[in-house]
Amino acid sequence: MSKTTIYIASSWKHQHAVELLTNVLRQHGYTVLSFIENNYGEGHAATKLAPFEEWVNTSAAEQAFKYDTSAACNSDVTIYMGGSGKDAIAEATMCWCHHKTLLGLSSPAEDIGLMRKMFHQWFDRWPDLIEYLCKNHPSK
């Protein structure tokens, strides 16, 4: 049996939280597809060197787009980190459309309305999310 694969749909503004959650998930034996590790530079130097509208048409942006959308569609579980914006909620929607497990980590800034029904479960605290995963989606 293969390891459960997880993708974290989030914004670069939550970079450190995504990195920390990635490490915790890996310590529990999960395979995590990280947009941060794959696309490092996307939210940093790449867009600082050129305006977003120029960068979005580069090969680096195309590679990042393909990685992110593939991970959201093909992972066993996608975790949406609340308050992340349009791109992350689009990735969450891709997960839902592929009938994968979609979990939400809420934040005070969360403003998803009726579409929050796509999510299998919402969590206010990351330790509760980890406990749920270990019970319902074993790492092996």
Q: What is the pLDDT of residues 70-81, one digit of tens each?
A: 999 999 999 999
List the domain boundaries for the chain. 5-115+125-136
Q: What is the pLDDT of residues 85-129, one digit of tens each?
A: 889 999 999 999 999 999 999 987 777 888 889 999 999 999 999
Tokens of 21: 């959650």
* Model pLDDT, residue 43: 52
Question: Cβ distance 6 to 78 under 8 Å?
Answer: yes
5-115+125-136 fold: Rossmann fold (3.40.50)
Q: What is the pLDDT of residues 25-34, one digit of tens each?
A: 999 999 999 9
* Model pLDDT, residue 42: 52
Question: Cβ distance 71 to 33 under 8 Å?
Answer: yes
